[in-house]
């Protein structure tokens, strides 16, 4: 039995996404497929699986990612699905604790990749916002005002997300000074 949930998670809420997927798995709903705004779950045994997500360094079809996924599978981690460079993994809870990263360096690197992702999304937003503001100033059309408003909101939320990721990375880097 399948269940489709419409939900969107931003890159900076990846920890919330992980928490949500594990919450669903705890109820017996195991993720099988993902797209931009749809999560497809399959009914199974509650608490059977534990899920983790990673933003890969390269697209899942590239050789580096293929060898990484294969390595994980040899280590007992099941590759569920992927969306863009997001890879979804799971492991049976009976097989023990599941984490993709056990040291600070790996976590810092992963956060850095997410930060780079969000930073890349900002300039186009900013350009389109400025364009809309300019058009609105020129032609006074309500459409441009609405678009500007929406884009400004998006820009603010993206920046807030970026700050959240940066804060976590800074925290981990400070930890790194003391320990691994």
Answer for the pair 155, 125: CB distance below 8 angstroms, yes or no: yes
Binding range to another protein, per CB under 8 A, among 11-19, 35-43, 96-104, 124-132: 96-104
Of the candidates 18, 16, 8, 9, the one whose C-alpha atom is nearest the C-alpha of residue 53 is 18
Min separation Cβ 160 and another protein, Å: 25
Answer for the pair 115, 162: CB distance below 8 angstroms, yes or no: yes
Beta bridge partners of 81: 88
Contacts with another protein: how many residues (CB under 8 A)?
22
Min separation Cβ 116 and another protein, Å: 15
**Helix, strand, coil percentages, rounded to 5, for the chain:** 60, 20, 20
Q: Which is nearer to another protein, 42 or 103 (CB)?
A: 103
Answer for the pair 162, 112: CB distance below 8 angstroms, yes or no: no
Residue 102 sits in the site that holds another protein (CB under 8 A): yes
Q: Which two tokens stand for residue 163?
A: 């700050």
Candidate list 16, 27, 38, 173; residue touching another protein; CB under 8 A? 173
Of the candidates 49, 88, 48, the one whose C-alpha atom is nearest the C-alpha of residue 72 is 88
Residue 175 sits in the site that holds another protein (CB under 8 A): no
Residue 180 sits in the site that holds another protein (CB under 8 A): yes
x/- binding map, residues 44-83, to another protein, per CB under 8 A?
A: ----------x-------------x--xx-xxxx------
Q: Which two tokens stand for residue 16?
A: 């919330």
Q: Which residues bind another protein (CB under 8 A)?
A: 54, 68, 71-72, 74-77, 97, 99-103, 105-106, 108-109, 173, 176-177, 180
């Amino acid at each position: 039995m399948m269940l489709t949930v419409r939900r969107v998670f931003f890159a900076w809420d990846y920890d919330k996404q992980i928490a949500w997927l594990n919450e669903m798995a705890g109820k017996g709903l195991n993720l099988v497929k993902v797209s931009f705004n749809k999560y497809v779950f399959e009914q199974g045994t509650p608490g059977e699986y534990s899920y983790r997500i990673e933003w890969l360094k390269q697209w899942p079809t590239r050789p580096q990612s293929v060898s990484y996924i294969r390595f994980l599978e040899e280590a007992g981690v099941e590759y569920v699905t992927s969306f863009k460079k997001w890879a979804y993994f799971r492991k049976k809870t009976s097989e023990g604790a599941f984490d993709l990263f056990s040291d600070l360096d790996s976590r810092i690197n992963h956060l850095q990749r997410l930060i780079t992702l969000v930073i890349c999304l900002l300039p186009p937003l900013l350009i389109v916002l400025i364009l809309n503001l300019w058009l609105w100033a020129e032609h006074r059309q309500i459409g441009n005002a609405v678009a500007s408003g929406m884009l400004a909101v998006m820009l603010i939320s993206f920046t807030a997300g970026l700050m959240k990721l940066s804060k976590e990375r800074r925290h981990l880097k400070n930890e790194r000074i003391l320990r691994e």
